[in-house]
Amino acid sequence: MGCLGAAKIDERYTHISSRHPCFSGEANVNRGRIHLPVSPACNIQCRFCKRTFNKFENRPGVSAELLKPAAALDKVKEALELCPEITVAGIAGPGDTLATGHALQTFDIIHRAYPDLINCLSTNGLLLEPYAEEIFRVGVRTLTVTVNAVDPAILDRICSHIILEGKKYEGVEGAAILIEAQKRGIRKAAALGLLIKINIVLIPGINGEHIGEIARTVAENGAGIINIIPLIPQYEFAGFSEPDCLQLAQAREAAEAYLPVFRHCRHCRADAVGIPGRGDLSSLLYGNRELEQTFSHG
């Protein structure tokens, strides 16, 4: 907690950010969100990513169950009864939101029933450009794109492969395809008027000295705010160390030369519910259900 500081938000986005706990430090302690775990598959494989279903790990890529889009409306209704301060319906996994049509279908349902809720989508950006207009149509106004490098040689060390139109791309080739897709997608989403947050997983020794370049690149393409997430050592990066407070502060300083930096991220699960600063209510919504399906890459 000693690493946290005050977030700054572009004034153009105050009307949304002041109600969104993942974009504003103030909203982080008095506004709530529900994450709907409807996305079953991912189209890239990051070397630190371990998606799973359980009830105890507090990190991205984890949920107690896979929710079907048709069931999402009832979950939102239940969540609002539990926590009337919820202002955001988000989808952040457990897979990528654009790898299947489940997230957009869910947002269409939610937006029709609760038009005042802020719809928020998180994606790796591989398919952001072709889906940007559909994302906007179903009511999404805030978007998070995870961009861990803008140099293919660096991203190759972080992402082992991507799957695009049924074909697997590995190495620097796959990394370059992903980077260019992310830049095109961010530009298009920004042109539509979406508020775009960039998540960067800070991996000392790999992209720690690259944060400023990432921030400069995404700012040029229309992003509005950055969130730097300390690596959780697991999967292929299980032997790595988490960045310390000094490394995190240096990364934030490098990014803040180009964009405001959000400093209150709590490594939320894909089924998180409630006000981030006051604990998680997800077990009240998802804790008593049996698991459905398994996670799939590609």
Mean pLDDT along residues 34-48: 91
Distance CA 156, CA 174 (A): 8
Distance CA 110, CA 108 (A): 6
Mean pLDDT along residues 18-46: 73
Nearest to 285 by CA among 60, 90, 82, 102: 82
**Which residue has tokens 């805030």?**
142
Give 267-297 pLDDT, tens digit per residue. 665 566 766 656 666 667 775 433 333 333 4
Write down the pTM of the prediction.
Answer: 0.83
Contacts of 65 (CB under 8 A, 6+ apart): 37, 53, 271, 286, 289, 290, 291, 292
Bridge partners of 164, per DSSP, are: 167
> Which residue type, as a one-letter code, is found at position 35?
H
Give 159-215 pLDDT, tens digit per residue. 999 999 999 999 999 999 999 999 999 999 999 999 999 999 999 999 999 999 999
> Quick count: other Cβ atoms within 10 Å of Cβ 246?
9
The answer to whether the bond into 94 is cis (omega within 30° of 0) is yes
Give 115-158 pLDDT, tens digit per residue. 999 999 999 999 999 999 999 999 999 999 999 999 999 999 99
In the chain, domain spans: 28-286
**pLDDT over 70 (residue 16):** no
Residue 211, phi-psi category: left (phi > 0), alpha (psi -120 to 50), beta (remainder) = alpha
Mean pLDDT along residues 55-60: 48
Mean pLDDT of the chain: 83
Query: What pLDDT is stored for residue 284 in this prediction?
Result: 72
- Check if the beta carbon of residue 213 is closer than 8 Å to that of residue 194: no
Query: What pLDDT is stored for residue 276 in this prediction?
Result: 65
> Which residue type, as a one-letter code, is found at position 148?
N
- Check if the beta carbon of residue 124 is closer than 8 Å to that of residue 60: no
Query: What pLDDT is stored for residue 219 in this prediction?
Result: 96
Bridge partners of 122, per DSSP, are: 144
Distance CA 56, CA 48 (A): 19
Cα angle, residue 126 at apex, residues 199 and 64 outer, rounded to 5°: 65
Q: How confident is the model at residue 11 (pLDDT cuts 50, 70, 90)?
A: low
CATH numeric code, 28-286: 3.20.20.70
- Check if the beta carbon of residue 38 is closer than 8 Å to that of residue 98: no
Angle between helices 128-137 and 102-113 (to 10 degrees): 20
Query: What pLDDT is stored for residue 35 in this prediction?
Result: 86
- What are the backbone angles phi and psi of residue 69, rounded to the nearest 5°? -50, -40
- Check if the beta carbon of residue 239 is closer than 8 Å to that of residue 233: yes
**pLDDT over 50 (residue 109):** yes
**pLDDT over 50 (residue 9):** no
Distance CA 208, CA 241 (A): 12
**pLDDT over 50 (residue 6):** no
Report the range of poorest mean pLDDT among 110-119, 231-240, 264-273. Answer: 264-273
Query: What pLDDT is stored for residue 161 in this prediction?
Result: 97
